[in-house]
Amino acid sequence: MVYYFMIIIPAIDLKDGNCVRLTQGKKDAQTVYSRDPVATAKKWESNGAKLLHIIDLDGAFSGNQKNLEAIIKIRKAIKIQIQVGGGIRDIGNVLNLFSAGINRIIIGTKAIEDPEFLTYLCNKYPGKILIGIDAKNGMVAIKGWEEVTQVSAIDLAKRLEMVGAAGIIYTDISRDGMMIGPNIEATRDMVESVKIPVIASGGISSIDDIKNLMKIKNLWGVITGKAIYTGSLDLKEAIRIAGGK
């Protein structure tokens, strides 16, 4: 069996200034894991993470970023790279985040609703605009996963690659927070459909899940959230096994 290196990316989901995890993206199914996001970010950095994934859940649901202050505090506290998403739907959000030292931003809902805005960002900030494609049964979900569209996730990925997106974060929302393992087949299909980097998300629960994802050639990385908060996945061990690239 051939295994490929990939990067392991710990996630911090912010809601009301706290680190939380949602089950299948449902805002009324949340668990608070920490009320100190800065301490959590430092912990993941000390465990060997090279990149931190932050989502402003309040922003994702409302369309307006609500946790910028917490994000800025995290940025000041750690040295590793940070990518941020959730509610980034106008140029003001983008400027605020880049001014704060965020390395890359993730556009989700706005990528579908306003292609011209996305094209502008990709041209103005080459290599710094990631697209969050959240899918249920292969179809794209938007607005904090509350609305499932009739747009195919793979078709959207191909279109956004042409626009100049730096990479795709692909989440199977039926598995997110469920601890039942990632959707290997759908992830492989996504990776094989585009040439830009793909980061998998959703359902990671164990080292075995990491090893299964490592069988996908050219998968750039994987985001893990609930598993590292509950302890079912040791972040330091996952990074070691995946190559720490």
Q: What is the pLDDT of residues 177-223, one digit of tens each?
A: 555 678 899 999 999 999 999 999 988 999 999 999 999 999 999 99
Residues paired with 140 in a beta bridge: 135
- Amino acid identity for residue 70 in this structure: A
pLDDT band at 26; cut points 50, 70, 90: low
Interatomic CA distance for residues 41 and 7, integer angstroms: 17
136: which 2 tokens? 């249920």
Which residue has 């290599």 as its token pair?
127
Q: What is the pTM of this model?
A: 0.92
Q: Fold for 7-242, please state it.
A: TIM Barrel (3.20.20)
**Among 27-31, 122-126, 197-201, the least confident range:** 27-31
167: which 2 tokens? 């990479």
Residue 124 has a CB neighbour count (10 Å cut-off) of 11
From start to end of 51-163, where are the E strands? Answer: 51-56, 81-85, 104-107, 129-136, 139-142, 147-152
Task: Give the start-to-end residue ranges of the domains of the chain.
Answer: 7-242
Contact 106, 84 (CB under 8 A): yes
Tell how many helices (H) and how many strands (E) occur in the chain: 11, 12
Active site residues: 13, 134
Q: Please state the φ and ψ torsions of residue 174, each to the nearest 5 degrees.
A: -70, -15
Interatomic CA distance for residues 197 and 217, integer angstroms: 11
- Whether 244 shows a pLDDT value over 60: the answer reads no
Distance of CA 213 to the CA centre of its chain: 16
Interatomic CA distance for residues 106 and 52, integer angstroms: 13
Q: Looking at mean pLDDT, say which of 81-85, 145-149, 175-179 comes out highest.
A: 81-85
Give 39-59 pLDDT, tens digit per residue.
999 999 999 999 999 999 888
Coil vs helix vs strand at 237 = helix
Q: Is the dihedral of CA 237, 6, 95, 16 positive or negative?
A: negative
